[in-house]
Chain A
Amino acid sequence: SQKIEQNSEALNIQEGKTATLTCNYTNYSPAYLQWYRQDPGRGPVFLLLIRENEKEKRKERLKVTFDTTLKQSLFHITASQPADSATYLCALLRGRRALTFGSGTRLQVQP
């Protein structure tokens, strides 16, 4: 069956360090992979989309990689700040019509 796993339930890092979050998937061949940020009690906010033919995508302090051979995406936040503390979700496109989400990684950036 199709499965999406995000590395750990929680990740604690010091301010200024780079946070690296992992998303692994099995039994998928997604055309796109997306990363979202979700704050407590709020809906997800879109951050980045990466296509299967793209190895890396950047947006300000964010970087996403997509390795279709390893079936893995890495999400990096450089120079992390306490305001980056949130849950980060990866999502895969299932066909053209639906997104399937991972369970998320809660990032806590300590000042």
Chain B
Amino acid sequence: GAVVSQHPSRVICKSGTSVKIECRSLDFQATTMFWYRQFPKKSLMLMATSNEGSKATYEQGVEKDKFLINHASLTLSTLTVTSAHPEDSSFYICSASPGLAAYEQYFGPGTRLTVT
């Protein structure tokens, strides 16, 4: 149980385009979903927290107009990287929690984004 999927697993896009990444909880309802990014050999950095049906809460320094997060249902959250630049190239990982507390999080397999 507690499986989280992400799609796509890898994506290459041109600079200036937008990319959407999906995160789904497959066998539970996710009250809260989290989006992280990870640079090579670095730790996961929380970008934003989203609750179903409400606006995402972004961490300091994360541009909400650039990283659009939608948590439209209890099993789906999307992250859209708008007007992507090469520096947005990273590993994006989502996690989902069945409750409001963050200590119980189940992570997706990640999405490797490369912006050329």
Residues B43 and A89 in contact, CB atoms below 8 Å apart: yes
Report which residue of A32, A44, A101, A102 has the largest number of chain B beta carbons within 10 angstroms of its beta carbon. Answer: A44
For window 79-116 of B, CB contacts with A under 8 Å fall at: 91, 93, 95, 100-103, 105-110, 112
A43, A49, A95, A104: the one contacting B93 at CB < 8 Å is A43
Chain A residues within 8 Å of B100, by CB: 96-97
In the docked arrangement, what's the CA distance between A98 and B106, Å? 13
Interface size class of B (residues with CB under 8 A): 20 to 34
Report which residue of B42, B49, B103 has the largest number of chain A beta carbons within 10 angstroms of its beta carbon. Answer: B103
Residues A97 and B102 in contact, CB atoms below 8 Å apart: yes
Chain A residues within 8 Å of B49, by CB: 97-98
Chain B residues within 8 Å of A49, by CB: 103
Residues B107 and A103 in contact, CB atoms below 8 Å apart: no
For window 53-111 of A, CB contacts with B under 8 Å fall at: 89, 93-104
The answer to the question of B72 belonging to the interface, with a C-beta cut-off of 8 Å to chain A, is: no
